Amino acid sequence: MKTFTYALKSILVFFFLILLSVACKQEEQKSTPPAKVTVVKVLQKDVELFQEFVGQTYGAFDIPIRARVQGFLEGIHFNEGTRVHKGQHLYSIDPQSYLADVAAQKSNVAQSRTLLVKAKNDLDRYEPLAKQNAVSQSDLDNARAQYEAALSEVEAAKANLKLSQIELGYTEIYSPIDGIIGKTNAKVGEFVGQDPNPVILNTVSDISKIHVEFFLTESDYLTFAREFMEKGEKSNKRVKKAGGYLELILADGSTFKHKGEIKFIDREINPSTGSLLVQAVFDNPENLLRPGQYAKVLAHSRTVPNALLIPQACVTELQGQYSVFIIGDSNKVQNVQITTGPKEDDYWMVKEGLKPTDLVILDGIQKVSGDQVVDPQEIQYKSKAAKQ
């Protein structure tokens, strides 16, 4: 009997201890406050989407300076890499042979004029004699033919003189435009003007405006074309208001401060590459850009109205699946699968899974789980990557 009583007391003590432990844990849970988490509201706005292309820069005009006549280079009258002006003297080619040719052609003109005078005198003498039948009609015709031939010889001699004077003029080479001149391809004393010797002596580039050429794939072209055909002038005005059609990202990662616009689109897609040549133009008043640079062109492709955006830091990714934690009823955490779109600065665009009114957890993701009650602290997120 004593043994039974002892066992019963032991069981009662055991259950009492269990109940006491449970009560203590419940009391402890009641006394632990919900975890604080930082949340942001889903951002909703129209988003201008841009695509990136690799382009190469060219001057508004890149004019080759050619030696149009052959000869030994006699003088260089500029400093390489400096600004030159239209009409500025650049090169001199030895003119001696061309001066001699001009003198010879002047002599030919004088000689042909002398022959013309003789032919005219002969014709004047034959005409009255022919009226008196003192000379035959054949002699008169010959006199007239010689006169006409002499006239032609004079014109030919004058034309040859003009050509030789033009060639003499080509021995002095001047800049055709205002611009920056490059490194000379020939030195004083070199023979120029005929391959394999230098023919193009230099290049002058007008870089007050810079052209950038890049290529669109056929798919990209159709995207751009449909955007502007469907929305027309409204789309054009909206994009211009947003900051211009095109932006240029330079080799050091900086953004060129002047906006650009499309100047030229080729008439056909290259069938061998499936690409379409596009030329853009950018103002370059500081002459920062030079021909031959490579740069990234950001081109407006389309506008997404009322797009939903969340900071990239809110998103977790596992095996290609993207999810976020949002605040549900009674401040309970919900894990929601989302479908992401393009990036906008340091935001993700969300195609599916969220509503404009949702609060998304930004900080504290690691310490929460589904259905956990939390204390949300809403903040205004400031993008670190926003364009200046």
Give me the mean pLDDT over the 205-222 stretch.
92
Listed in sequence order, the residues at least 6 apart from 90 whose beta carbon sits closer than 8 Å to its beta carbon are 65, 76, 77, 78, 84, 173, 174, 175, 181, 201, 202
Domain 96-169 carries which CATH code? 1.10.287.470
Q: What crossing angle do the helices spanning 137-169 and 96-131 adopt, rounded to 10°?
A: 160
The per-residue pLDDT for 203 is 96
68-92+172-198 placed in CATH 2.40.240.10: no
Tokens of 158: 């004058």
Residue 243 or 10, more confident: 10
The matching CATH number, chosen from 1.20.120.790, 3.40.640.10, 2.40.30.170, 1.10.10.60, for 50-58+208-304 is 2.40.30.170
Locus of tokens 């090169």: 91
First-residue to last-residue Cα distance in the chain: 90
DSSP 62-119: EEEEE--S-EEEEEE-S-TTSEE-TT-EEEEE--HHHHHHHHHHHHHHHHHHHHHHHH
Contact predicate 163/68, CB 8 Å: no
Kindly list the domain boundaries of the chain, sorted by start residue: 35-44+307-378, 50-58+208-304, 68-92+172-198, 96-169
Q: Answer positive or negative: Cα dihedral of 176, 182, 186, 189.
A: positive
Tokens of 232: 């027309």
In whole angstroms, how far apart are CA 109 and each of 100, 154, 170, 226? 14, 6, 22, 67
User: Closest Cα partner for 225 from 278, 271, 274?
Assistant: 278
The per-residue pLDDT for 69 is 96
Q: What is the DSSP letter of 334?
A: E
The phi, psi pair for 268, rounded to 5°, reads -145, 155
Locus of tokens 């870089």: 207
Locus of tokens 């103002």: 283
Listed in sequence order, the residues at least 6 apart from 225 whose beta carbon sits closer than 8 Å to its beta carbon are none
Q: What pLDDT band is residue 324 in, cutting at 50, 70 and 90?
A: very high
Q: Of the ranges 48-52, 293-297, 316-320, which is most confident?
A: 293-297
The per-residue pLDDT for 388 is 45
Tokens of 73: 């280079």
User: Closest Cα partner for 162 from 101, 110, 114, 91?
Assistant: 101
The reply to whether 68-92+172-198 and 96-169 are identical in fold is: no
Helix (H) or strand (E) holding 4: helix 2-31
- Taking all residues of the chain, what is their mean pLDDT, rounded to a whole number? 87
Q: What pLDDT band is residue 369 in, cutting at 50, 70 and 90?
A: confident
CA distance 332 to 354: 16
Classify 345 as helix, strand or coil.
coil
Q: Is the peptide bond before 34 cis (omega within 30 degrees of 0)?
A: no
**Fold exhibited by the domain 35-44+307-378:** 2.40.420
Q: What pLDDT band is residue 240 in, cutting at 50, 70 and 90?
A: very low
In whole angstroms, how far apart are CA 264 and each of 96, 100, 211, 220, 369? 46, 48, 10, 16, 55
Residue 210 or 122, more confident: 210
Q: What pLDDT band is residue 364 in, cutting at 50, 70 and 90?
A: confident
Does residue 284 carry a pLDDT above 60? yes
In whole angstroms, how far apart are CA 281 and each of 204, 221, 275? 18, 18, 20
The per-residue pLDDT for 238 is 44
The phi, psi pair for 112, rounded to 5°, reads -65, -30
Give me the mean pLDDT over the 214-226 stretch.
86
Give me the mean pLDDT over the 292-315 stretch.
89
Does residue 239 carry a pLDDT above 60? no
Does residue 28 carry a pLDDT above 70? no
Q: Is the peptide bond before 196 cis (omega within 30 degrees of 0)?
A: yes
Pairing outcome for strands 359-363 and 35-41: antiparallel
Which amino acid is located at 190 in the chain? E
